């Protein structure tokens, strides 16, 4: 059984990069074992663990001026301390960090968007889990870089440069694939479980373009390596594993030579004009020469 203080400490540790980026500082000393306060410029955040749930709350006042009822819920999730694990707390930390980044992140001077370009909006995990929306490339990139904050800068640079998030560019040239391949080759079981927990969730709750991104652009970079594929198979879901393996076999076959060349040498960016059938759809049978079973 985990106590509230331990659970809260784990959640706060995972949120730390997002809180620092948004310039929220902890209010010391911490008065409660199950709650922590953060403040910045006339507003405060509270993270609380109680009654089998964890909550992220906000108040538009400094902590010393805020009453308990002034805090409004930004995010709430179940956390049953009797059965909670460290992984559960890390997952919650990722959710809360994403909310903080979306609502409170401050842009650094000199790193603004191009004139007239608005920051793209990511779909919330709550909407996805409720079945109201699906992962798109932007929300996947947001979740991926929340899990691996060392790539957050490359993620922001990508959509600031193009005015939209180019997922293939990010994974092929921005360090995404490099990180994934390093984790797989290092065979760190905890890291692989964490990585594929996200890939499985996004694949099963993502639009077709995101499924293609995972199977073709990311896992397709394994280039049919049987050792690495077998290592990944232990962590991939029943839905993802057979498709990822089929894609790898196709990309390393004679029939997949042109597709492999397109992945290795993607065309220069052009603004979208009309929607064409994607590479993933073609390979999965949507066009001539699709994959066989």
133-175 pLDDT, tens digit per residue, is: 788 999 999 899 988 989 988 998 888 887 788 998 899 888 9
Which strands sit side by side in the sheet containing 43-50, from one edge to the other?
A: 25-26, 35-40, 43-50, 53-59, 72-78
CA distance 53 to 71: 16
**Phi, psi for residue 9 in degrees, rounded to 5:** -60, -40
At 258, list the tokens: 């042109």
Q: Are 204 and 198 in contact (CB under 8 A)?
A: no
pLDDT band per the 50, 70, 90 thresholds, residue 49: very high
pLDDT for residue 91 is more than 70 = yes
CA distance 74 to 40: 17
pLDDT for residue 273 is more than 70 = no
pLDDT for residue 43 is more than 50 = yes
HSE-CB at 158 with a 13 A cutoff on CA atoms is 25
pLDDT band per the 50, 70, 90 thresholds, residue 112: very low
pLDDT in tens, 233-269: 999 999 999 999 999 888 888 876 666 656 555 554 4
pLDDT for residue 178 is more than 90 = yes
CA distance 139 to 155: 11
Residue 181: which residues within 8 A CB-CB, separation 6 or more?
221, 222
Percentage of the residues of the chain whose pLDDT score is greater than 90 = 39
pLDDT value for 32: 85
**Nearest C-alpha neighbor of 260 from the set 220, 225, 287, 227:** 220
pTM tops 0.85: no
* Section 67-76 average pLDDT: 88
Q: How would you class 226 by CB atoms within 10 Å of its CB: exposed for 0-12, middle for 13-18, buried for 19 or more? A: exposed
């Amino acid at each position: 059984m985990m106590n509230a203080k331990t659970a809260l400490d784990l959640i706060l540790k995972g949120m730390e990069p997002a809180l620092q980026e948004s310039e929220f500082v902890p209010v010391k000393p911490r008065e409660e074992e199950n709650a922590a306060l953060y403040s910045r410029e006339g507003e405060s955040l509270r993270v609380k663990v109680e009654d089998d749930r964890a909550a992220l709350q906000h108040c538009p006042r400094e902590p010393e001026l805020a009453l308990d009822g002034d805090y409004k819920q930004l995010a709430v999730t179940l956390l049953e301390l009797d059965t909670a694990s460290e992984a559960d707390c890390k997952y919650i930390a990722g959710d809360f960090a994403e909310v903080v980044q979306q609502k409170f992140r401050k842009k650094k001077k000199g790193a603004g968007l191009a004139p007239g370009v608005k920051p793209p909006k990511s779909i919330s995990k709550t909407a996805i889990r409720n079945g109201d929306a699906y992962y798109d490339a932007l929300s996947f990139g947001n979740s991926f870089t929340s899990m691996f904050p060392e790539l957050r800068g490359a993620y922001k640079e990508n959509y600031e440069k193009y005015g939209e998030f180019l997922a293939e560019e990010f994974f092929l040239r921005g360090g995404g694939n490099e990180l994934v391949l390093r984790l797989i080759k290092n065979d760190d079981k905890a890291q692989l479980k964490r990585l594929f927990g996200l890939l499985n969730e996004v694949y099963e709750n993502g639009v077709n373009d995101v499924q293609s991104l995972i199977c073709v652009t990311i896992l397709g970079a394994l280039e049919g390596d049987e050792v690495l594929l077998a290592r990944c198979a232990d962590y991939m879901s029943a839905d993802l594993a057979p498709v990822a393996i089929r894609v790898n076999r196709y990309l390393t076959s004679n029939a997949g030579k042109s597709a492999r060349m397109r992945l290795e040498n993607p065309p220069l960016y052009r603004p979208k004009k009309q929607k064409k059938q994607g590479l993933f759809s073609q390979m999965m049978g949507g066009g001539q020469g699709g994959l066989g079973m």
